[in-house]
């Protein structure tokens, strides 16, 4: 009879395990260590030894309106090439979610009943080296990324179902049989430095009594520089070890929310918007694969954003939902198509086996297809649409009645018997096309899928709720651009008039603003206008700028001149607002560093400020108001500046986002009396920007 059977020598609720040699081992409960688990200690960075685990309580929203079900961000170092990292289940629905290491490859497996989906990340981990794993689960889609590698994604044939508990690093004794079921030997062996669940970072100590339900056999990672005080991280960065058990191996990184404001920070998040890079009255939207844009939420509707779609463009939106209590659902779309066929809207059921909802063009006919289980419902427009003209369709679903109305045609109505439980709830909604990972999984015909929508969308109304900007509330964009075409291009208005589209094929002509008094030449930018003006320096050795500005916004690109090739950015001049200060940046050749001049005072006070900037060869001077000039000397040996293309971009330029986070912010405020070199720049009356109804500065958007 073993020691554990006679009388357990283990204390403080530890588990006693008899060994084949007649000895025993105590698996200590959380916060205890020692041979008999009688030594209390504080955990900072936990170490797992293949028989360890944490049982954690999850905070998961069950609201259908929440797009993000579960987000996991894990920084770990493995000492073994196999092991279980994380496990969650819902035995009621036979749903299992497992993250494991198999031969140094991260494997994410999701199983529901007899259906199994697996993602294997392409990069191998390096033993004893810390790695960052991000996993995002959104409805029936999983995305994962290891370190700075590519994002791997998988669409599940079912929705995710999580209970409120999750096991980290291993499983308790009552779950041991699952190791064999999932073809694993034991749990994780190594250190976990950080774990964030749904953007809440967990600290592994006794203060987390509301999150840590139980734990066993957890030790402390030794020689961690982030605990010992060896690390010296500055500028609000935090310490991350590089190699396990190496007290001198570490790096300093930023919290996600700081990465857009701190020039020392780089981000590699799956969700670029998790850094909260946009202003308080802007919405951040991810641009696939690894970019983002900021759109204005309270901008004037006088100049609405019309989205241009190309063959592979798409907008990924939250799930469609009926009106609460009534169960009625309506969707209306104003569109212009340049091709006779293409996918307009696609929406899966949360369990894709239950069908899909699709609106598409086929041979210029608008078709609405609804598949519910094995039943297919189809409605088609009575007449073909005219290409390169604006049209609208309206779909109504109420009870058993389905209605399709296109333009002024008589409605097409059908009555079908189906259960609303088979139609709702839905997964994501896609406008224009489907991402690649959805294409292999859909139930549409290849002919529909092979043709994305090519044209423009002016407006969308969901349950009579209109969006001034079709991108509003979107989750992700791909290859979406601002549309510039019919009916305002070519300009149908007379000279000195601007064409402004109002509804569908209708437009109005507005007089371009004229000013003869140069001393009061001003414009107001609301964050939607990105203006372009011709600029060719009079002297390649000298650049001179002088103007007045006022704003209440702390971030934004005032102007940019230089290379716009996203692969190089070898030569440019820029003026930006950074945390309320103006910053002039000079880069004269690809081999030199950037040189910065930053104002000593804040300028986001809503008052007029005068800035005067001169670059003469390598000497750079900036003077703000009546303050003393600030000067630096460029580190480059080059003294000439040859901008290509020969434009100055004012107010913002979307292609610069991938180069520098600061350039993603558009400028909102006023500009006045803009001089470049020795010439006055007429901001209002310029032929290149005819499509923008610019206005004189009156108020400041706060």
Q: What is the pLDDT of residues 391-432, one digit of tens each?
A: 999 999 988 889 999 999 999 999 987 766 667 767 789 999
Residues 574-600: tens digit of each pLDDT = 999 998 999 999 988 888 888 999 999
- What token pair was written down for 443? 């139930």
> Distance of CA 334 to CAs 185, 286, 459, 470, 486, Å?
57, 24, 5, 10, 13
> 3-class SS at 679?
strand
- pLDDT-derived band of residue 65, with 50, 70 and 90 as boundaries? very low
Q: Which class for 374: exposed (0-12), middle (13-18), buried (19 or more C-beta within 10 A)?
A: exposed
* pLDDT at residue 64 in the model: 41
- pLDDT-derived band of residue 606, with 50, 70 and 90 as boundaries? very high
Tell me: pLDDT of 451 over 50: yes
Residues whose CB falls within 8 Å of the CB of residue 379, separated by 6 or more in sequence, listed in order: 367, 368, 402, 403, 404, 412, 414
Residues 201-223: tens digit of each pLDDT = 887 765 556 788 888 888 888 87
Tell me: pLDDT of 446 over 50: no
Residues 608-625: tens digit of each pLDDT = 999 999 999 999 999 999
Domains of the chain by residue range: 3-41, 48-221, 307-468, 518-689
Do 593 and 527 meet the contact criterion of CB atoms below 8 Å apart?
no
- What token pair was written down for 446? 């290849």
Q: Which class for 532: exposed (0-12), middle (13-18), buried (19 or more C-beta within 10 A)?
A: middle
The percentage of the chain sitting over the pLDDT mark of 70, rounded to a whole number, equals 83
Residues 250-264: tens digit of each pLDDT = 888 766 544 444 444
Q: Identify any residues that bridge with 219 across adjacent strands, giving them in sequence order.
A: 47
The percentage of the chain sitting over the pLDDT mark of 90, rounded to a whole number, equals 31
Residues 275-320: tens digit of each pLDDT = 777 777 788 899 888 788 888 776 656 667 899 999 889 999 988 8
Q: Identify any residues that bridge with 141 across adjacent strands, giving them in sequence order.
A: 138, 155
DSSP letter assigned to residue 34: S
CATH architecture of the domain with range 518-689 = Sandwich (2.60)
Fold for domain 48-221? Jelly Rolls (2.60.120)
Residues 40-53: tens digit of each pLDDT = 877 888 899 998 99
CATH architecture of the domain with range 3-41 = Ribbon (2.10)
- What token pair was written down for 301? 């509707």
* pLDDT at residue 367 in the model: 94
Q: Which is more confidently placed, 439 or 361? A: 361
Mean pLDDT of 441-468: 75
Residues 473-511: tens digit of each pLDDT = 899 999 998 898 999 888 888 776 778 888 889 888 876
Mean pLDDT of 449-465: 88
Q: Which of 406, 49, 55, 34 is nearest to 204 (CA)?
A: 55
* pLDDT at residue 658 in the model: 60
Tell me: pLDDT of 63 over 50: no
Tell me: pLDDT of 137 over 70: yes
* pLDDT at residue 366 in the model: 95
Cα–Cα dist 381/361, whole Å:
10
* pLDDT at residue 262 in the model: 44
* pLDDT at residue 421 in the model: 64
> Distance of CA 438 to CAs 52, 122, 390, 698, Å?
38, 20, 29, 48
Q: Which helix (H) or strand (E) holds 558?
A: strand 556-562
- What dihedral angle (degrees, nearest 10) is formed by the CA atoms of 40, 43, 49, 51? 70
Domains 48-221 and 518-689 share a fold: yes
Cα–Cα dist 160/120, whole Å:
18
| Residue ranges of E strands in 323-389 | 329-337, 342-349, 356-362, 365-372, 375-380
User: Mean pLDDT of all residues in the chain?
Assistant: 82
CATH of 307-468, picked from 3.40.50.180, 2.60.120.200, 3.40.50.9100, 3.40.50.2300, is 2.60.120.200
Backbone angles phi, psi at 436, to 5 degrees: -60, -40
Tell me: pLDDT of 382 over 90: yes
* pLDDT at residue 584 in the model: 95
- pLDDT-derived band of residue 455, with 50, 70 and 90 as boundaries? very high
- What dihedral angle (degrees, nearest 10) is formed by the CA atoms of 653, 656, 660, 666? 10
Mean pLDDT of 219-228: 78
- What token pair was written down for 263? 């020039």
């Amino acid at each position: 009879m073993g020691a554990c059977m006679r009388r357990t020598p283990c204390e403080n609720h530890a588990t006693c395990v008899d060994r084949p040699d007649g000895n025993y081992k105590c698996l200590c409960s959380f916060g205890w260590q020692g041979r008999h688990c009688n030594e209390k200690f504080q955990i900072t960075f936990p170490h797992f030894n293949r028989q360890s685990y944490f049982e954690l309580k999850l905070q998961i929203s069950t609201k259908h309106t929440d797009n993000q079900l579960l987000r996991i961000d894990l920084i770990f170092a493995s000492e073994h090439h196999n092991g279980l990292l994380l496990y969650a289940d819902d035995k009621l629905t036979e749903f299992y979610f497992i993250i494991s290491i198999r031969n140094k490859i991260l494997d994410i497996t999701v199983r529901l009943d007899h259906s199994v989906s697996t993602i294997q990340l392409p990069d191998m981990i390096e033993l004893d080296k810390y790695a960052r794993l991000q996993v995002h689960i959104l409805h029936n889609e999983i995305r994962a990324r290891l370190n700075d590698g590519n994002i791997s994604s998988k669409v599940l044939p079912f929705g995710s179902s999580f209970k409120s508990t999750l096991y980290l690093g291993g499983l308790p004794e009552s779950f041991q049989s699952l190791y064999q079921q999932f073809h694993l030997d034991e749990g994780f062996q190594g250190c976990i430095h950080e774990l964030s669940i749904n953007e809440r970072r967990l600290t592994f100590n006794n203060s987390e009594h509301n999150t840590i339900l139980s734990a066993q056999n957890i030790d402390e990672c030794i020689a961690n520089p982030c605990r010992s005080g060896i690390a010296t991280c500055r500028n609000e960065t935090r310490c991350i070890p590089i190699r396990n058990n190496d007290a001198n191996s570490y790096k300093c990184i930023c919290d996600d929310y700081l990465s857009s404001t701190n020039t020392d920070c780089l981000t590699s998040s799956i969700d670029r918007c998790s850094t909260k890079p946009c202003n308080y009255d802007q919405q951040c939207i991810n641009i696939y694969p690894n970019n983002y844009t900021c759109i204005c939420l309270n901008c004037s509707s006088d100049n609405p954003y019309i989205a241009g779609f190309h063959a592979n463009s798409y907008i990924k939106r939250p799930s469609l939902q009926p009106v609460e209590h009534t169960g009625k659902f309506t969707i209306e779309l104003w569109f212009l198509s340049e091709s006779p066929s293409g996918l307009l809207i696609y929406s899966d059921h949360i369990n894709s086996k239950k069908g899909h909802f699709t609106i598409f063009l086929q041979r210029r006919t608008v078709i609405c297809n609804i598949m519910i289980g094995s039943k297919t419902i189809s409605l088609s427009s009575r007449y073909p649409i005219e290409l390169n003209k604006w049209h609208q369709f309206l779909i109504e679903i109420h009870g058993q009645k389905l209605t399709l109305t296109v333009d002024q045609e008589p409605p097409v109505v059908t009555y079908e018997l189906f259960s609303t439980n088979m139609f709702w709830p839905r997964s994501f909604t896609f406008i224009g096309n489907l991402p690649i990972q959805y294409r292999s999984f859909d139930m549409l015909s290849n002919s529909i899928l092979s043709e994305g929508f090519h044209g423009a969308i002016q407006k969308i109304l969901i349950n009579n709720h209109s969006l001034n900007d079709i991108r509003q509330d979107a989750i992700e964009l791909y290859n979406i651009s601002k549309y510039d075409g019919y009916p305002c291009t070519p300009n149908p208005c007379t000279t000195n008039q601007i064409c402004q589209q109002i509804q569908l094929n209708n437009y109005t002509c507005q007089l371009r603003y004229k000013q003869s008094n140069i001393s009061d030449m001003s414009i107001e930018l609301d964050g939607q206008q990105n203006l372009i003006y011709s600029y060719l320096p009079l002297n390649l050795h000298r650049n001179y700028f002088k103007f007045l500005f006022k704003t209440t916004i702390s971030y934004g690109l005032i102007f940019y001149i230089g290379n716009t090739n996203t692969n190089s950015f070898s030569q440019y001049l820029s003026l930006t607002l950074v945390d309320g200060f103006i910053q002039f940046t000079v880069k004269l050749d690809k081999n030199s560093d950037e040189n910065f001049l930053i104002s000593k005072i804040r300028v986001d006070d809503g008052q007029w400020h005068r800035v005067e900037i001169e670059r003469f060869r390598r000497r750079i001077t900036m003077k703000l108001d009546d303050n003393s000039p600030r000067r630096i000397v460029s580190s480059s040996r080059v003294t000439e500046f040859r901008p290509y293309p020969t434009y100055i971009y004012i107010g913002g330029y979307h292609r610069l986002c991938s180069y520098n986070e600061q350039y993603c912010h558009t400028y909102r405020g006023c500009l006045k009396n803009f001089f470049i070199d020795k010439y006055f720049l007429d901001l209002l009356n310029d032929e290149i920007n005819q499509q923008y109804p610019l206005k004189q500065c009156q108020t400041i958007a706060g």
